Structure 1
Amino acid sequence: MDVSASGAGTGRMIGELEIRVLGPVEARRGGRPVPLATGRQRTLLAVLAMSAGEVLSAETIGDRIWGEVLPVHLRRSVQTLVTRLRQAVGSDAVATAPHGYRLTVEPGCVDAARFLRLVEPAPVVRSVADERADLVRALALWRGAPFEGVNSDWLRGVEAPRLLERQLAVVERRIDLDLAAGRHAELVTELGDLTNRHPLRESLWCRLLEALDRCGRQAEVLERYEAVRGTLRDELGADPGPGLRAIHARLLSRTLAEPVQTIVPRQLPPDVPRFTGREDEVEALDALLPASAETPVPMIATVHGAGGMGKSALAVHWAHRVGDLFPDGQLYLDLRGHGPGPPVEPADALLALLRGLGVADDRIPGGLDARSAQFRSLLAERRMLVVLDDARDADQVRPLLVGSRCLVLVTSRRQLRGLVAREGAHRIALGPLAPAASVALLAATLGPYGVAYDSAQLAELARLCGHLPLALGLAGEHATRQPTGLASFIAELRHRADRLDLLEVGAERGTRVRDAVAWSYRELAPRDARTFRLLGRYPRTRISRTAAAALVGVSSAEVRLSLDRLLDVHLVDELGPGSYEIHELFQLYAAELAARVDGGGSAPLLGEVV
């Protein structure tokens, strides 16, 4: 039968009966709907329509309508259903054959058959315009999901998937013709909707990325690629197929080949004046450097320690010291993990890093994964040092990691245990300065100001500061304003209640010991915060786990977990199994908090604990 003669899209069929299954199942005669009283009638009509012109046995009809739960009297039930369908659509529409029943309409009277004939390969070569016109006419026959309103496992599980797959293939072919004709701009919205409805169909994603690329939206291509890669990984546990990977690789190679402003970033802050001590830590960092320029460097090194311990100073000083070993430059970023404002989001951090490499904003994708991929690609063949200062946690750092020719140096108040466990980071712990280094730092600070002192006074001043670099710097600033000598200032510091008041020089960030501890304390869970506060009531800086459990009023197992979380953010140190120490200045702050928050009756009597 000639499909074009059947009047596709006109509603006038041979015998005037039209059956529609590409959407809600319905019959129309003379362009008007034919009432079908029950869902079973619609199901029978759809089953017969999918085999129009063929004889179906009662057993086949029963299996396709009822599935495994067949009527007791199958033939009688089928016969009754056929009779009622004939009453609705016409007695001549369903014929009785020796071995079953047959829908007497031509296949062209069924929209599904008409669709399949319109999209089958033509016996003669057609023009692109004719082919596209046939595809558009075929797709116009669809009014929704096939077989809506019927209840048949066979139709839903066998026929519907076959038709839907064919429909998507036809849509993709029509899109290919439109792409070839240069209609990529008008396809982006349609393809975006299609990928939302079929997120695991990679062929649609390939076409979307192609259309976006032709629109000049390369940053969005990278972002969408990362999105679909994440979806495939989460849903299927698989990576993108060859088609998607090829488009991504092609775009990356072209992006990297395009002329970009050559920038060798030198973003390190100024080197730290009067940097003193830390010989062991500098030596440990030096040991991570490769023996030659051809040797890959370790990916990550972390410097972790309490607030005010000088982590940033060590990182910046060492980075200046070895900067020449990284000829492609040094990137620096303050992640603001601990402070008065919110931490830098990883996506924003990558934006700053990519800008530092000279990437224009219109070539930076919007999504985190896409930015991370672009950053890794740009640094893949470079030898760079990346300093990420004051990281909040491993999750903030992970998207910023790069390949083996670069070294990423991270500082944090946390131990970043996840980076060690998963990414193999080299971890360097930072504690208080050695007494000799503390004295040397104070001497270097006071020297230019002509302040009178002796070595015993400097040693005492360093001890009262707990050899904490921040406290030493603040005390040194105070001391420069003591022209008569250090004795009276030291005497004031010996008074524990006033010591923290004296160790501050202003309201800005980094000028108060209290702030250095408070930013870590505020991150604690309530139970851990209470443990820290109560350590301020203990008469010593060292405490056993047993004594800590009695002090807090919990079991040894519970206090062990709490102390471990304090250890992670360096509010306590572990001296050995079951033995801990809190820095004296931190203990003073904890005592202030305990008096303000817990009052006088929250902890056991110290005599009972000791």
Structure 2
Amino acid sequence: MSDGRGTAHAGGRPSDGSALGSAPAADHGPENLEDHGLRVALLGPLQVWRGSTAIDVSSNRLRTMLAALALSASNTVTVEQLAFALWPDDPPAHQRRSVQTYVSRLRRVLGPAAIRTVRGGYRLDADPDDVDVLRFHRLLARAAASRGTRAERERLEEALALWRGAPFGGLPSSTLCGPKAVRLVEQRLSAVERWIDLGLAEGRHNELVAEVQELALRHPLREPLWERLLLTLGRCGRQAEALAMYERLRHRLADDLGVDPSPELQRRHLSLLADEERPATSPTPCMLPVAVAGFAGRDDACERMDRLFDGDTRICVVSGTAGVGKTALVLHWAHRARAHFPDGQLYVDLRGFGPSAAATSSHDALPALLTAMGVPPQAIPAETRARAALYRTVLAGKRMLVVLDDARDAEQVRRLLPGDAGCAVVVTSRQGLSSLVASEGAALLTLDVLTREEARDLLARRLGRERIATDPAATDEIIELCARLPLALAIVAGRAVARPLSPMAALAADLRRVRDDLGVLATKDSLTDMRAVLARSYDALPPDAARLFRLLAVHPGPDVGEAALASLAGLHAPQVSELLDTLLDAHLVGETVPSRFSFHELLRTYARGLARAGDTSAHRRAVLRTIEHYLHTTYRAALLLDPAAQLIAPDAPAAKVRPEHLRDRGQAQAWFRAERVVLFRVIRLAMAEGLHPHVVRLALAVTVWCDLEGDEQGKTALEILALEAAGRSGDHAARGRRQLHESGQARHTGR
């Protein structure tokens, strides 16, 4: 084995490992004048600094003692261990006294506080990260934890840059320069080989070939390095040179050791003879579909994708609700980023939520991808695992973009992920694909509906800025009726293009029917028909989650808390929480603020249509549970605000109604603040359902909150609603009318 001379790799380029030749490496250099700690370099001739000052340790035994202490920096080294390092073959008769003598001498060189006397021995007062051997080990561990990412290569380069020559160079210690040094050199060579593999995976064979050749010649009997040399030369198209190198090694092994090359080297030799390592001449695949014309907005999302793939990210999942423009964004970004993927761009429509029931399996997707990369159809294996292995092999060493569009779940995607760090993958899905985030380290980019400005820009690009400027109010109404959803806006824009003489106000008037019927946004193409697009997300739900989605239409909105959902659905809170997770993952509801949920108006219209077409009696029971939830919770909250308030106590809650248990005035105030808009809508819902006594009771309770907030407008509206309900309910609300009258008098007298 060689002397272990270093090969550092700063910025991916080879050097002689001089980073520690005159100063500590990386962020531990002497240029940091504020740092006066001790630094020790052992990966080469021993060097030591305190701050920016180099310290000369001339005595061989003192140098050996310092090395032994530095290898256990911040940990105790026993007297016996130090004695063995200093006198491995002939220890002195009084080794403790002799060790003490050398410790005293070393303190005079390093400083009196540099070595501490502790129970059982001595301890060097140095940060382990300031000892290059210990830092080397830490960086290798961090690289292993980052396996398969750009960070792994960067950490390996940082670790290898610490080497300046043979470890413990010049120390006359067999304990250090023996097995310890051999083990360190082996670790360095293994790190170098992994670094070469990462470079080859990134397609940098032309950059690596000179260095790999130098390393192999420096280590003439290390077969793994020679195998990498043959592979690198082959990929550079230098087959003849690679074959000559193999013969050189074969003769060396036979003459020096009397053995043949390893089976791995022999297989590499055969592949060279078959010319299998020569770079493929197949055309660069460019499978991206055409980008969406008139694409608007999403600048922040595009910039985030740029940042993700400029960093360590290899996989990005773009998720969001149906029609939010996931594919449009990804194709727009992918076309813009083509130059970053010179080896090609692959695309497959997985049809996870397509019009047909059957999604595209990875087994069926792989042949098209392999064929695009030049694999003959007859060479594509029949078995899925073998296809996936061939796919990863063909992608190895390339810088390609893989777009996996409309994935149903993570399992559909996994076999289509390259194993190579040089490739990037973008997955679009209506699901969050959280398992890809957890197990594959994928980044998650969730798209919301467009901002009003982005929606206006989309219409302007499709219709022309002059047309939308003729009636800004109608344009804004169209944007809101479309819930700022890109697909809905595109449908309306398409109709407007087909009717160039129709004013924006007429388009808006026609679109108002969308509040009750999604048929307004119907098209002849099931890929763009709004009801069909939303149905494909709904149809993928399990039955319990589908039921909760339908029942959400019962709630008057604009948002709903988890406790109210439990009453609405007649379920316990843990059940509702689990179903909400399913709906959130499918992007059929959104969490507007923590623990409050809603969906955009087109989803509300769709859910309302499902509820109307379903079990009307179940729908009616959910309405009653919802109203009673707010009736009982409001009554409790009002009494917490004003225990003397004159309220009408409600009857016992109906079955499966679970009012919220507010404990104090602060919780009551927070609840009213969150539910104010909802409460006014619930009162109107109760009026529409003919539940007039409930209206009166709710109005009285909410009036307590309005009094506290000084909300005269809200209080007046409640009084009008309650008086109307009291009038309709006859004798049942006589008490309510009286209390409303007293409440009105109290308001005028400033109670």
**How would you bin the TM-score normalised by the shorter chain?**
0.5 to 0.7
Q: Distance in 2 between matches of 1:498 and 1:482?
A: 26
> Which of the residues 572, 577, 598 maps onto 2:589?
572
For 1:543 and 1:410, locate their aligned partners in 2 and report how far apart those are by CA, in whole Å: 31
Task: State the partner residue of 1:432.
Answer: 449
Alignment of 1:251-270 (within 5 A): 256-257=276-277, 260-270=280-290
Matching residue of 2:530:
513
- 1:376 aligns with 392
Counterpart check, 1:394 vs 2:410: yes
Report what 1:288 is aligned to: 308
Q: Which deviations, in whole Å up to 9, do the C-alpha atoms of 1:259-295 show, x marking residues without a partner?
A: 855120111111211111101111110102337xxxx
Q: Distance in 1 between matches of 2:554 and 2:268?
A: 61
TM-score, length of structure 1 as denominator length: 0.56
Matched to 2:615, the amino acid is D
Q: Cα–Cα, structure 1 residues 592 and 570, in superposed 2: closer, same or farther, change >3 Å? A: same
Structure 2's unaligned 5+ residue stretches are 1-261, 631-751
- In the other structure, the counterpart of 2:401 is 385
1:538 aligns with 2:538: no
1:503 shift after superposition: 1.1
3-state SS of paired residue (2:292)? coil
Counterpart for residue 483 of structure 1: 501
Matches within 5 A, 1:436-451: 436-447=453-464
Q: Which residue of 1 aligns with 2:368?
A: 352
1:328 aligns with 2:349: no
- The 5 A counterparts of 1:44-443 are 256-257=276-277, 260-290=280-310, 298-341=313-356, 342-402=358-418, 403-443=420-460
Q: Measure the CA separation in 2 of the matches of 1:330 and 1:557.
A: 45
Q: CA deviation at 1:452?
A: 7.5
Q: Distance in 2 between matches of 1:561 and 1:601?
A: 21
Residues 460 and 468, structure 2, Cα contact 8 Å, conserved in 1: no
How many residue pairs get aligned? The number is 362
CA distance 1:357–1:252, change in 2 (3 Å): farther
Specify whether residues 541 and 250 from structure 1 end up closer, same or farther in structure 2 by C-alpha distance, changes over 3 A only: farther
Deviation at 1:509, TM superposition (A): 3.0
Q: Does the C-alpha gap of structure 1 residues 497 and 362 become closer, same or farther in structure 2, counting only changes over 3 Å?
A: same
Report if aligned partners of 2:406, 2:428 keep a CA contact under 8 Å in 1.
yes
Structure-2 change in CA distance of 1:586 and 1:405 (3 Å)? same
Question: Is the CA contact 2:318–2:447 (under 8 Å) kept in the aligned structure 1?
Answer: yes
CA deviations over 1:48-77 (Å, ceiling 9, x no partner): xxxxxxxxxxxxxxxxxxxxxxxxxxxxxx
Measure, in 2, the Cα distance between the counterparts of 1:428 and 1:535: 26
CA distance in 1, matches of 2:344, 2:281: 14
Distance 1:255 1:524 in 2: 52
Structure with greater contact order relative to length (CA < 8 Å, sep ≥ 6): 1
Cα distance between partner residues in 2 of 1:580 and 1:275: 29
Give the distance between the partners of 2:516 and 2:302, measured in 1 at CA: 35
Cα offset, 1:587, TM superposition? 1.1
What displacement does 1:502 show?
1.3
Q: In structure 2, how many angstroms separate the alpha carbons of the residues matched to 1:488 and 1:473?
A: 17
Q: Distance in 1 between matches of 2:341 and 2:401?
A: 6
Aligned equivalents of 1:343, 1:529: Cα separation in 2: 21
The letter for the 1-side match of 2:392 is R
Any conservation in 1 of the 2:408–2:431 contact (CA below 8 Å)? yes
Q: What letter corresponds to residue 316 of structure 2 in structure 1? A: A
User: For the structure 1 residues 375 and 439, does the alpha-carbon distance in structure 2 shift closer, same or farther, using more than 3 Å as the test?
Assistant: same
Cα deviation, residue 252, structure 1: 8.4
Query: Secondary structure of the residue that 2:308 maps to in structure 1?
Result: coil
Q: Name 1:460's counterpart in structure 2.
A: 477
Which residue identity lines up with residue 442 of structure 1 in the other structure?
A: L
- Report the alpha carbon displacement of residue 382 of structure 1 after superposing the two structures with TM: 0.6
Distance 2:491 2:355 in 1: 20
Compared CA separation, residues 585 and 256, structure 1 to 2 (3 A): farther
1:494 deviates by: 2.3
Contact 2:496 2:502 (C-alpha < 8 Å) held by counterparts:
no
Query: Is the partner of 1:575 in helix, strand or coil?
Result: strand
1:544-563 matches, within 5 Å, as: 544-563=561-580
1:493 to 496, 499, 511: 511
8 Å Cα contact 1:256/1:378 also seen in 2: no
CA contact 2:363–2:384 (8 Å) conserved in 1: yes
CA offsets 1:274-326 (integer angstroms, 9 cap, x no match): 111101111110102337xxxxx522111000110000000000000010111
Partner of 1:593: 610
Q: Flag the 1:361–1:576 CA change in 2: closer, same or farther, 3 A.
A: same
For residues 474 and 606 of structure 2, what CA distance do their matches in structure 1 show?
A: 25
Report the CA distance between 1:538 and its aligned residue: 1.4
Which residue identity lines up with residue 299 of structure 1 in the other structure? R
State the one-letter code of the partner of 1:324: A
CA contact (8 A) 2:294 2:461 kept: yes
- Which amino acid in the other structure matches residue 315 of structure 1? V
Alpha carbons 1:390, 1:413 under 8 Å: kept = yes
Q: Structure 1 residues 482 and 504 mapped into 2: Cα distance closer, same or farther (>3 Å)?
A: farther
Q: How many Å separate the matches in 1 of 2:583 and 2:266? A: 48
Partner amino acid, structure 2, of 1:268: L
Cα RMSD after superposing both structures = 2.5
Deviations 1:118-161 (A, max 9, x none): xxxxxxxxxxxxxxxxxxxxxxxxxxxxxxxxxxxxxxxxxxxx
- The SS at the match of 1:365 is coil
Deviations 1:336-385 (A, max 9, x none): 11022211111111111101111111111111111111111111111011
State the 1:551 CA deviation.
0.8
* Alpha-carbon offset, residue 604 of structure 1: 3.7
Name the CA distance, whole Å, in 1 between partners of 2:384 and 2:361: 9
CA contact (8 A) 1:451 1:484 kept: no
From the superposition, tell whether residues 497 and 290 of structure 1 become closer, same or farther in structure 2 (CA, over 3 Å). Answer: closer
Give the C-alpha shift of residue 244 in structure 1: 11
Asked if the contact 2:555/2:623 (under 8 Å) is kept, the reply is no
**AA partner of residue 512 (structure 2):** R
Q: Secondary structure at the match of 1:565?
A: helix
Distance 1:546 1:252 in 2: 66
Secondary structure of 2:415's match?
A: helix
Deviation, structure 1 residue 570: 0.3
TM-score by length of 2: 0.46
Aligned partner of 1:584 in structure 2 is 601
| 1:298–1:404 contact (8 Å) kept in structure 2 | no
Q: Distance in 1 between matches of 2:569 and 2:503?
A: 43
| Distance change (3 Å), C-alpha of 1:331 and 1:572 | same
Distance 1:505 1:570 in 2: 23
Question: Distance in 2 between the 1:483 and 1:492 partners?
Answer: 15
Q: Is the 8 A contact 1:541 1:583 kept in 2?
A: no
Q: Matches of 1:498 and 1:337 in 2, distance apart?
A: 29
Whole-angstrom CA distance in 1 between matches of 2:500 and 2:454: 22
